[in-house]
Chains A and B, each alone.
Chain A
Amino acid sequence: MTLKVGIPRALLYYYYLPLWRTFFEALGLEVVISRPTTKTILDAGLQNSGDDVCLPVRLAFGHVLDLKDRVDVLFLPRLVSIARREYICPKFLGFPDMVRHGISGLPPLIDPNLNLYRKDSPYPFFVALGRNFTSNRLAIYLAYRRAMHAQVRYVQLLERGLFPEQALALLYQGVAEGQESGGGGPTVAVIGHPYNIYDPYISMNLLSRLARSGVRVCSADNLPETLIREQAARLPKHLFWSLGQRMIGAAWHYLQSPDVDGIIHVASFACGPDSLTGELISREVRRRGKPFLNLTLDEHSAEAGVVTRLEAFLDMMERRQFLPVRESV
């Protein structure tokens, strides 16, 4: 019987699924992914986590609960650092412990530390991870190679303009269910953490809603890493959050790009890093004067409110096109 490994559809799922999934499958394990977010999943997460915890982490609790009774082991890597001299967010560092002490009756957790703060290669992480399932070093090495290869392909697809769900569908089902749209419409950059903007339930279908309104949408993940880092290097001090780097680098790139007509910044309520990076972004936007919408999401967000604000934002962009900005009065 093959061992079932559970991967929650939350947090950095949208960045790293091909990496984890390919690695486990190459080792002959069965990967079970939690179901797409629903109200039930979110509610379960809310009931089992503290009030002060941010929405993405509470949602991740819900996804862990969704997997709890369906898998043999749960894969919750402790993502300490995914790039040199950078962290993600304290909650990613503590997530396995928060889950372990917040939910009872869990299957065994596999939570090796991924820490690239002073290292470049994630290989030791995969060795530690693979050791849980096999003692065959060669098999681990080969699985690692395949996983890295899959990840590179995935990132290439994103950089070609696909969003994670389309890219994952292409990788695993061989089909691209496109939301290709926006012929002639304006282009909007959506800047936000992957677990907020790519989860259709949490973002209230933000991306497809925009696409249906004839807007061409792009996000930080459509940009190559080097470009993002080049932009973020303009900050007075190296930013020590990897996701913050992406947000700021992408926002600043899109601000300068003449093809992008507006920017939507999506943050979850009380998000720590976003409170500072969002501030830096909105200050820069004010200096340059591009249409900007700051959407804050939490478990109480109502669809009608979001839709109204989105419509107002799109109207504003439309008016801008018909009423060219008067250079001098």
Chain B
Amino acid sequence: MKVTFPHMGHMWICLSAMLEYLGVEVVVPPPSSKRTLTLGARHAPEFACLPLKLNLGNFMEASELGADTILMAGGCGPCRFGYYAQVEHAILEDLGYKYRLVVMEPPQKHVGELLSKIKYITGHSSWWEVVRGIRFGYQKARMVDELERQANYLRPREIHRGSTDKAFKRALQEIIAAKHPRDLPQAGERVRKIMAQVVIKPRPVLRVGIVGEIFTLLEPFANYDLERRLGYLGVETDRSIYLSEWINDHLFLGLVRGLRSRKEACQAAPPYLNHFVGGHGQETVGSTVMYAKQGYDGVIQLLPFTCMPEIVAHSVLPRLSTELGIPTLTITVDEQSGEAGLVTRLEAFIDLLARKKGVV
């Protein structure tokens, strides 16, 4: 059994760490690229959202590398993601791919169903081992997130352009290379050393919060490397969702203390959005409110074209933006998006923020 899963930013690091620790053979799909998107968009429904198209492309490319089992997450709506796996599988089947599909559904009736699927994937590992594997993957997710946060702080302040990204790549390799939980502390030490070598100078920077749909937030291919671009424009960014926070909220049910949680974001959303709307719609609105209160200079909302929860969020943003005095920019991405158009809009938005703050 060769297991594959879709890409979402650096999620593959955490997932393959966990699976490989448990002795599962993993095929990581090639990083999402133009080819992935072309393959996916050709066979996916026209109005499906971008993540589905990229997932599909990932699976097709992973199959070329010999993958035969898909590991996917499920959901119970109303966001479309909950039905992705089934539709993707139907498409792949009609195309003649021979994939086994294992969907981790949130347990609705009893937890046994989910446990038996974990058992199916992990084979003869004991439950204790499974727990340790999950913990290992989670620790890696924490490290990667910490690294990303650091890079977002350093990038607008670096003296030599590109030095942060170079260090980031090397540091990421250190995390990937750790094959056992006991290697993690040393890897963390090396990561710290690498990042400490980036030379920065204090300068006034703009602070922008990035909110929106989780896939487009986390996947640099989908958002045209938004964080890096903003960094080079002299902007320090913060994202409303990091992978480890999402895991803690949705899989550990908030077991890990001291992390930012979606609850706060949802509580901040009224009176603009009084009810959950699926996906991360309410978090988007709530996080925008929180960024405004924390004195951020602006907020960028990212969403895939036709994303329903984010469209609801987008509808209430103009009022929020006026009342709380925080400029917002909404960026919709799909297979038709062009880089030049995005860059122009970003530059215009950042110019506007800089003028407002007086740091031109």
Contacts and interface: CB of A to CB of B under 8 A. Distances in A.
Q: Does A associate with B in a complex?
A: yes
B314 interface: yes
Given A49-B315, A87-B78, A237-B86, A270 B47 contact: yes
B90 A90 contact: no
A275 B80 contact: yes
A16 interface: no
A280 B308 contact: no
B315 A275 contact: no
A279 B48 contact: yes
B107 to A, nearest CB: 13
Contact of A91 (B89, B273, B311): B311
Given A237-B83, A239-B83, A272-B308, A279 B279 contact: no
Contact of B315 (A98, A241, A271, A274): A98
Contact of B86 (A85, A235, A241, A269): A235
B271 to A, nearest CB: 8
Contact of A237 (B47, B74, B309): B74
Interface string A78-91: 10100001111111
A98 B47 CA distance: 22
A279 B45 contact: yes
Contact of A94 (B49, B87, B273): B273
Contacts of A49: 315
Given A275-B46, A280-B90, A52 B305 contact: yes
B45 A93 contact: no
Contacts of B315: 49-50, 53, 94, 97-98, 101-102
A273 interface: yes
Interface residues of A, number: 40
**Dominant SS among interface residues on chain A:** mixed
Contacts of B127: none
A102 B74 CA distance: 33
A113 interface: yes
B48 A275 contact: yes
Nearest to A237: B86
B311 A85 contact: no
A272 B312 contact: no
Q: Which of B89, B275, B279, B281 has the most CB of A within 10 A?
A: B275
Interface residues of B, number: 46
A87 B94 contact: no
A8 interface: no
A278 B78 CA distance: 16
A149 B103 CA distance: 42
B122 to A, nearest CB: 23
Contacts of A85: 76, 108
Nearest to B309: A90
A52 B83 CA distance: 22
B8 to A, nearest CB: 19
B337 interface: no
Given A53-B315, A97-B316, A91 B308 contact: yes
B314 A276 contact: no
Contacts of B94: 283
A267 to B, nearest CB: 8
Given A97-B316, A275-B80, A90 B278 contact: yes
B102 to A, nearest CB: 13
Contacts of B49: 272, 275
Given A50-B315, A101-B319, A272-B80, A93 B47 contact: no
A274 B47 CA distance: 8
B24 interface: no
A103 to B, nearest CB: 10
A240 interface: yes
B275 A80 contact: yes
A258 interface: no
Interface string B76-106: 1111101100110111001000000001010
B299 to A, nearest CB: 16
B194 interface: no
Contact of B78 (A52, A89, A236, A280): A89
A276 B46 CA distance: 10
Given A113-B275, A276-B45, A279-B45, A93 B80 contact: no
Contacts of A274: 47
B308 A90 contact: yes
Q: Which of A80, A237, A269 has the most CB of B within 10 A?
A: A237
A51 B86 CA distance: 30
Contacts of B313: 94
A90 B78 contact: yes
A297 to B, nearest CB: 13
B306 interface: yes
Contacts of B312: 90-91, 93-94, 97-98
Interface in A258-288: 269-276, 278-280, 283
A50 B48 contact: no
B232 interface: no
15 contacts: A50-B314, A78-B275, A91-B311, A93-B277, A94-B313, A94-B315, A98-B316, A237-B86, A270-B306, A271-B306, A272-B306, A276-B48, A279-B45, A279-B87, A280-B90
Given A94-B309, A272-B308, 8 more contacts: A52-B306, A91-B277, A97-B315, A240-B82, A272-B49, A272-B80, A276-B80, A279-B90
Interface of B: 45-49, 74, 76-80, 82-83, 86-87, 89-91, 94, 103, 105, 108, 272-279, 281, 305-309, 311-316, 318-320, 332
- Among all A-B residue pairs, the 5 with the closest Cβ atoms: A240-B77, A94-B312, A87-B78, A275-B47, A90-B308
